[in-house]
Amino acid sequence: MVRIVFRDDAGNAAEIEARAGQSLMESAKAAGIAGIEAECGGSMVCATCQVYVAPDWVERLPPASAMEAEMVEYTRHPRPTSRLSCQITVTPELDGLEVTTPPSQR
């Protein structure tokens, strides 16, 4: 299992154990993390699973695809560290990953 820390925009933290091979979005939904709506179920058409990746983790993730980067541009609260959690696959190397959910997904 891979330890992931989710913070909400108020700074409250929830640590989950995620399965390698799942998307970060699937792991968040399974753990009941508030702030991850994921209306499209991971097909990258709604961008309601946006997270802000902690700065020290940004370079350790595979880069966003062009399509993901474009979808992030249409989110309500984009930041330079924004990613779609449906596009991040949990791997053992992500143990300790910290992400924050935006104030809202719409």
pLDDT digits (tens, 9 = 90+) for 10-24: 999 999 999 999 999
Note the pLDDT of residue 8: 96
Note the pLDDT of residue 75: 94
d(CA 25, CA 37): 9
Judge contact between 23 and 42, C-beta under 8 A: yes
pTM over 0.85: yes
Note the pLDDT of residue 106: 83
pLDDT digits (tens, 9 = 90+) for 46-91: 999 999 999 999 999 999 999 999 999 999 999 999 999 999 999 9
